[in-house]
Structure 1
Amino acid sequence: MTEIGLPSGVRACLFDLDGVLTPTALVHAAAWKETFDDFLRERDGDGFRPFDATADYDEYVDGRPRADGVRSFLASRHIELPEGDDEDPPDKQTVHGLGNRKNDAVLEKIRTQGVKPYPGSVRYLEAVRAAGLRTAVVSSSANCRDVLVSAGIEHLLDVRVDGATAKERHLPGKPHPDTFLAAAADLGFDAARAAVFEDALVGMDAGRAGHFGFVVGVDRVGQAAALRQHGADTVVEDLADLIGATA
């Protein structure tokens, strides 16, 4: 292992955004809760069963493309909505309308609250680049660039593959490995020479399915065992924990 905690053959690092580089997973979870609770209240009245911002978020929406998250959660409640399309207004009762309602909520939270990166993640990004490795961010969010700019870390990443990229290239989202594979290819490496850094279980599944050289689970919420079960080679609470981890 190198002094940045990776096998010596790894030359590219592929980072998820929310929960790995920035604490925006909490912002997304809050926006999903606001969106789904409003929808369920409108549908079922005041006796509705609320969206759980931890359990439901982790199980059904974390790391998934927006529309997939809507479908997954609604299916868990045996609710079906028409698909609609990307241009649906946020008050339309469709999969895409509900997704756009969530997107409006998260953009408002980012605008009013701002975004700061995890300090340990900044340290690790700088250490990785100082060691000569290439870096990419791989996110299902279409707002990825806005978050990177707000957090002041866009310059530390050579490649960005996000929700907009996936749509343009027709790449399926996590748990499929395609977005990570695309980022590695954009950096000039195959999967065996790349490491994946993820906090979401579907991200672990993507790392395992893509046969990447190393998969790092980032445990911000106490799910280390689940991250390992889903394919993590190692689990850390903060990326800075990898610095000097040569054993």
Structure 2
Amino acid sequence: MSEIGLPSGIRACLFDLDGVLTPTALVHAAAWKETFDGFLRHLEGPEFQPFDATTDYDEYVDGRPRADGVRTFLASRGIELPEGDEDDPPDHDTVHGLGNRKNIVVLEKIRQDGVKPYPGSVRYLEAVRAAGLRTAVVSSSANCRDVLVSAGIEHLLDVRIDGVVARERGLRGKPKPDTYLEAASDLGFGPGEAAVFEDALVGMDAGRAGRFGYVVGVDRTGQAEELRRHGADTVVSDLAELLGATA
């Protein structure tokens, strides 16, 4: 195990964004709650069951492309909406309309509060690059680049595979491994030479399905055992814990 906590054969690091490099998972969870609660209140009245920003977010939304998150959560409540079109206005009660409604909310929150990266993640990115490894960010978010710029870490990542790129290239979202495999390929490596860094359970599933060389679970919310069950080779609460780690 190297001084960056990875097997010696690893040549590329593939990082999820929200919850791994930046604390924006909390922003997304709050935006989903505001969006879903407003929709459910309108649909079911004041006795509706609110969206849980921890359990519902982790189970049905975290790590998934936006439309998949809408479908999966609503299905858990026995609700089915028309698909609509990707450019549906946010007041349309369609899968895409509800997703676009959430996107407006999250962008407002990011603009109001800005984004700061996790300090330990910045230290780890710098160490990885100093060790000669290539880096990529792999996110289902269509706002990935805006977040990277706001956080001041875009220059630390060689490749970006996000919701925009996935749509352009026809890549399936997590838990399918397509976006991670694409990032490794863009960096010039096979999956066995790449490590995946994820906080979402569907991201763990993607890492396992893609047969990557190493999968690091990042536990920010107390789900270490779930991350291990979904395929993490190791679990840390902060990427800086990997620095100087030995096997």
TM interval, short-chain normalised: over 0.9
Deviation, structure 1 residue 23? 0.1
Number of the residue aligned with 1:201: 201
- Divergent runs of 4+, >4 A: none
Trace 1:17-56 onto structure 2 (pairs within 5 A): 17-56=17-56
Number of the residue aligned with 1:140: 140
Number of the residue aligned with 2:101: 101
Distance in structure 1 (CA, Å) of the matches to 2:140 and 2:198: 12
Distance in structure 2 (CA, Å) of the matches to 1:195 and 1:87: 35
Kindly tell me the number of residue pairs found equivalent between the two proteins: 247
**Does the alignment pair 1:58 with 2:70?**
no
SS in 2 for 1:25: helix
Unaligned runs of 5+ residues in structure 1 are none
Deviation by residue 1:122-142 (Cα, 9 ceiling, x = unmatched): 000000000000000000000
Deviation, structure 1 residue 183? 0.2
Deviation, structure 1 residue 150? 0.2
Work out the percentage of aligned pairs sharing the same amino acid.
83
- TM superposition score normalised by structure 1: 1.00
Task: Kindly provide the amino acid, as one letter, of the partner of residue 168 in structure 1.
Answer: E
**Does the alignment pair 1:119 with 2:105?**
no
Task: Kindly provide the amino acid, as one letter, of the partner of residue 80 in structure 1.
Answer: E
Number of the residue aligned with 1:162: 162
Deviation, structure 1 residue 231? 0.1
Distance in structure 1 (CA, Å) of the matches to 2:192 and 2:56: 33
SS in 2 for 1:175: coil
Distance in structure 2 (CA, Å) of the matches to 1:44 and 1:211: 43
Deviation, structure 1 residue 58? 0.2
Distance in structure 1 (CA, Å) of the matches to 2:218 and 2:16: 10
Deviation by residue 1:62-83 (Cα, 9 ceiling, x = unmatched): 0000000000000000001000
SS in 1 for 2:52: coil
**Does the alignment pair 1:13 with 2:39?**
no
Distance in structure 2 (CA, Å) of the matches to 1:198 and 1:239: 11
- TM superposition score normalised by structure 2: 1.00
SS in 1 for 2:91: coil
SS in 1 for 2:34: helix
Deviation by residue 1:78-105 (Cα, 9 ceiling, x = unmatched): 0010000111000001000000000000
Deviation by residue 1:102-160 (Cα, 9 ceiling, x = unmatched): 00000000000100000000000000000000000000000000000000000000000
Distance in structure 2 (CA, Å) of the matches to 1:107 and 1:114: 10
**Does the alignment pair 1:212 with 2:212?**
yes
Aligned-pair RMSD on alpha carbons? 0.3
Number of the residue aligned with 1:91: 91
Task: Kindly provide the amino acid, as one letter, of the partner of residue 199 in structure 1.
Answer: D
**Does the alignment pair 1:176 with 2:176?**
yes
Distance in structure 2 (CA, Å) of the matches to 1:39 and 1:187: 41
Deviation, structure 1 residue 246? 1.8
SS in 1 for 2:168: helix
Deviation, structure 1 residue 222? 0.5
SS in 1 for 2:32: helix
Deviation, structure 1 residue 203? 0.2
Unaligned runs of 5+ residues in structure 2 are none
Distance in structure 2 (CA, Å) of the matches to 1:51 and 1:242: 34
Task: Kindly provide the amino acid, as one letter, of the partner of residue 215 in structure 2.
Answer: V
SS in 2 for 1:109: helix
**Does the alignment pair 1:81 with 2:81?**
yes
Task: Kindly provide the amino acid, as one letter, of the partner of residue 172 in structure 1.
Answer: R
